[in-house]
Amino acid sequence: MRPTGKRKKAQSMILDEVKKQLVLQAERWGRAGHYTPLKLEEIELEAVRRILSDLLAERANLEYEMQTITENKKDIDIKLSRLQSYLKRAERVGQKHDKNINKMIDKLVGDRKKTNNALDVLKFKREGLVSVMLSDN
């Protein structure tokens, strides 16, 4: 059962409130700045991955049941079709969180191509220093 507009908005408001309370409690315990928006997004992505893993395990169990049990295959087939919709939803949510994390990283890092080029130059300089040191010995 999918949440309606009002229910979805209410759920979203509750989750936002929980996030605010988490950040507030962390600040009270001296961990100010620990729960950044990026960290919260990573926590949500990890939760989605755990849920997706559980759903995949359940699908494997149902497929095994489908192969071994000769009766009530219709019930198992219905469960599999519902599970498939849950899997698709979890994958979409995971992709959304990946996209949000990449956007946040892009804001922090700037142009990734330029950053990678700069890192390559630093890596090359470090490798050059190591090879020169080895050749002097």
Rounded CA-CA distance 93/101 in Å is 12
Q: Is residue 133 part of a domain?
A: no
Which residues, in sequence order, are CB contacts of 22 under 8 Å at separation 6+? Answer: 35, 40
Q: Is residue 62 part of a domain?
A: yes
* Tens-binned pLDDT, residue by residue, of the chain (137 aa): 566 788 989 988 998 899 899 889 988 888 888 888 888 889 999 999 999 999 999 999 999 998 998 787 889 999 999 999 999 999 999 999 999 988 888 887 776 677 777 777 777 666 554 444 444 44
Rounded CA-CA distance 38/106 in Å is 11
Domain shared by 26 and 46, yes or no = no
**5 lies in which domain range?**
1-35
Domain shared by 5 and 21, yes or no = yes
pTM value?
Answer: 0.68
Domain shared by 75 and 45, yes or no = yes
Domain shared by 31 and 46, yes or no = no
Domain shared by 21 and 56, yes or no = no
Name the 3-class secondary structure at 124: helix
Give me the number of domains the chain comprises.
2
Domain shared by 27 and 70, yes or no = no
